[in-house]
Structure 1
């Protein structure tokens, strides 16, 4: 099973790579993981007309997304939503998301990114992807560093939530992959 973990934030000083590295460690027990950092993909922010050819940066990322059996999106909450860089990445692709499960790991202040999560569910529904119920929300994540700078503290309890989420993601990824193999998905 192939999992694409997507770091949704591109801003300077972002926390997303820390969360993504932790998630990759958890997910590697069940998936072959492909870590996609939107900061390094250089996706254009201006979308073309529907008849225009996709730019090279978009074409390079497309096969990696298409090869994934499942996705895990790591996103901060910014102004009660998810970052523009993530929306741009979602909008550049369409068929790559179809009939595949998506797990959401969000972080932020007291809400832990739940507003971003809710909005992502709506967007992924439109892209004909399936968001799984269980997520990992990280409220006030900066409070979970250990004395030596590690993250997260073992007492944070994030591993249990990640295991539940990833177990569900495996189930959905296998079920949807089997369904796509039996009959190609037609939107």
Structure 2
């Protein structure tokens, strides 16, 4: 009996005005939606006003703000973070999302699609790996990286040469499905506790 499709949340992490993230995220979501082994949920952080102060007992306002994102993260069985590189790191909006959640990430795989200039956002990915490890998530090795991203997409948001990026996306998605289904089975047999 084939496994139920993996529930994948794709997180577009940049909220800056004029951001390029929606173009990259839409391209990746299209790649993922072509597969029968996953269901895709695109979460754009610009659509969610996350709170700015941490509290161990959030009030009603904070709970309401998180209400649009938290259940979607909890439902996901795997994640792909679409991230730019800002000042050799990842966006504050993404760190805010990560820090407001804990159990939602546990025992689930996380993949990365990065973009930027010469480094292609890879420095942000390398800083995210230990952050997700602290949250008991598993980061997959391979990622998709767009170096000098602005010259790779045309004015309609289409990749001018999709060969290498599509191959990288397939590798990333294959790894996410393997980890995601394996961890789903493990969580069903033995609930995860940290």
TM-score of the pair, normalised by structure 2:
0.91
Alignment map for 1:44-123 (pairs within 5 Å): 44-48=51-55, 50-53=56-59, 54-123=62-131
Structure number with the higher helix fraction is 1
In structure 2, C-alpha distance between the alignment counterparts of 1:151 and 1:111, rounded to whole Å: 21
Choose 148-157 or 95-104, whichever is displaced more.
Answer: 148-157
CA contact under 8 A between 2:23 and 2:157: conserved in structure 1? no
In structure 2, C-alpha distance between the alignment counterparts of 1:124 and 1:142, rounded to whole Å: 28
In structure 2, C-alpha distance between the alignment counterparts of 1:149 and 1:24, rounded to whole Å: 16
1:34 aligns with 2:41: yes
1:6 aligns with 2:11: yes
In structure 2, C-alpha distance between the alignment counterparts of 1:87 and 1:145, rounded to whole Å: 27
CA contact under 8 A between 1:144 and 1:156: conserved in structure 2? no
| Structure 1 unaligned residues grouped into runs of 5+ | none
- 1:141 Cα deviation from its structure 2 partner: 0.7
* RMSD, aligned CA: 1.3
CA contact under 8 A between 1:2 and 1:31: conserved in structure 2? yes
1:164 aligns with 2:171: yes
* Residues 155, 23 of structure 1: alpha-carbon distance in 2 compared, 3 angstrom cutoff: closer
- How far does the alpha carbon of each residue in 1:30-85 deviate from its partner, in whole angstroms, 9 at most, with x for none? 3110110101111112222x133442111332111010010000000000000000
After the TM superposition, which parts of structure 1 deviate over 6 Å for at least 4 consecutive aligned residues? none
Give the total of aligned pairs.
Answer: 185
Residue aligned with 2:41, SS: strand
- 1:156 Cα deviation from its structure 2 partner: 5.5
User: Which residue does the alignment assign to 2:181?
Assistant: 174
* Residues 51, 133 of structure 1: alpha-carbon distance in 2 compared, 3 angstrom cutoff: same
CA contact under 8 A between 1:75 and 1:107: conserved in structure 2? yes
TM-score of the pair, normalised by structure 1:
0.95
Residue aligned with 1:96, SS: coil
